[in-house]
Amino acid sequence: NSRDSGNSRDSGNSRDSGNSRDSGDSGKSSGANPTNADPWHVSVWVEKNGKSAHKCSGVLVGQRTVLTAANCTRGTKFRDVFVRYGGRQYNDLAHEVDVVRIDELDIQGKGWGIAVLKLKRDIPTEKGYIEPISLADVTPSEGTNGHFTGWVPDTNPKFVLKHNRGTIVDKSQCRTIIPPNMICTKWTYGENCVDEAGGPLVMNGKLAGIVTLQPGDCIHKANQAHIEITYYRPYLPKDDDL
């Protein structure tokens, strides 16, 4: 009864995915700009009462490791969480793999932490299709440009991976006071929110941040806070263990 479907899509009837989206912790996403890049962006699914649904975005940082926002999996048993990948629409992703362990890192103790999902098996990488992203090793300075991605409604019920661009700004410019483990970005391109809990903030080709949103937090054109990866580097698995 394992969810691990190897390298092919599990087309059996053991799981009712229902093409549904659990918006409980995913933030608000609508209309943006399609992306054909970002092969590290995955979908984190949760099974409950026999039904499974997309819960949050996730980021592949190693062949067996996915990072997401801690609020995406808090209170959920690891056996009820799995990752889907391989495509640009989360309703129709080609592959899936079970999660066998969840480690929550919440240094500030305020719920704005990172969840480290360890996968049952290595995900085979294919350049431009599915591959991990490297972690940033320096804090991005003010004025650094990057982009963030999320699953956004396109043609109902399809949710397509899209992106917006952003620039690092001083923390005081975020609309709420943010703790030391977070960085603030200002939109520089894009019409609507694509921020989704667990989604990546990519700068200079590396993972600089993780989106951590609560319901309704994504406000059009408002500056957004992201969990800063370099703050957590000492607590994350070493590169050889990802």
Determine the Cα–Cα distance for residues 111 and 70; give it in Å rounded to an integer: 7
pTM: predicted TM-score of the whole model, two decimal places: 0.82
pLDDT band at 22 (very low <50, low <70, confident <90, very high): very low
DSSP letter (8 states) at residue 94: S
List the domains of the chain with CATH numbers.
Answer: 145-233 (2.40.10.10)
Dihedral (CA of 106, 107, 113, 115) sign: negative
- CA-nearest of 193, 194, 197, 205 to 226 is 197
Q: What is the pLDDT of residues 190-211, one digit of tens each?
A: 544 665 789 999 999 999 999 8
